[in-house]
Amino acid sequence: MTKEFDNEGAVLSGGEQQKIVVARAFAQQASVKVFDEPSSALDPIAEYDLYKGIMNESKGHITLFISHRLSSVKDADEVFMLENGTVIEQGTHRQLMDKGGKYCEMFTKQAQNYLADETYKEGVTV
């Protein structure tokens, strides 16, 4: 498909390549699927659409996300927060936000970058 193997192949953007990789993962009949930063090259709208699609296709299957973008794991059944290779927090998004630990801190700081509202105050749980 790409010029790597054929001079008439396509030149795909990073985001297009990521979408193809995700589509290929769902075309396979694997019982466990692992996605490592599957949206790092996507714009926010494409990222949102990608994760909604992954969540819909993942029903009844084991799907693991590895991501630094915590908004991508909001809808996960279970979140594992790792630090230096060790699980430091575990729970649903809501449980971890209510706990007010490292996950909450990181999620809130990431969310702050997206909020243009001048009334946003640091430390307020989103």
pLDDT of residue 21: 72
Asked if residue 67 and residue 101 are part of one domain, the reply reads: no
pLDDT of residue 86: 96
Asked if residue 93 and residue 67 are part of one domain, the reply reads: no
Give me the DSSP letters along 90-109: EE-HHHHHHHTSHHHHHHHH
Asked if residue 83 and residue 73 are part of one domain, the reply reads: no
When divided into structural domains, the chain yields a total of 2
pLDDT of residue 120: 52
More confident residue, 63 or 40: 63
Alpha-carbon distance of 25 to 19, in angstroms, equals 10
The mean predicted confidence, pLDDT, of the chain is 81
70-85 residue pLDDT tens = 888 888 899 999 999 9
More confident residue, 42 or 118: 42
Beta bridge partners of 66: 36
Q: What is the CA radius of gyration of the chain?
A: 17
Q: Which tokens in the block code for residue 18?
A: 């990521």
55 phi/psi in degrees, rounded to 5 = -60, -40
Return the amino acid letter for 15: G
Asked if residue 96 and residue 45 are part of one domain, the reply reads: no
80 phi/psi in degrees, rounded to 5 = -115, 115
CATH of the domain at 47: 3.40.50.300
15-61 residue pLDDT tens = 677 677 777 777 787 888 888 888 777 788 888 888 888 888 888 88
Q: Which domain holds residue 62?
A: 1-77
96: left (phi over 0), alpha (psi -120 to 50) or beta: alpha
Asked if residue 114 and residue 69 are part of one domain, the reply reads: no
pLDDT of residue 17: 74
Pairing of strands 32-36, 62-66: parallel
pTM of the full structure: 0.69
Determine contact, residues 25/33, Cβ cutoff 8 Å.
yes
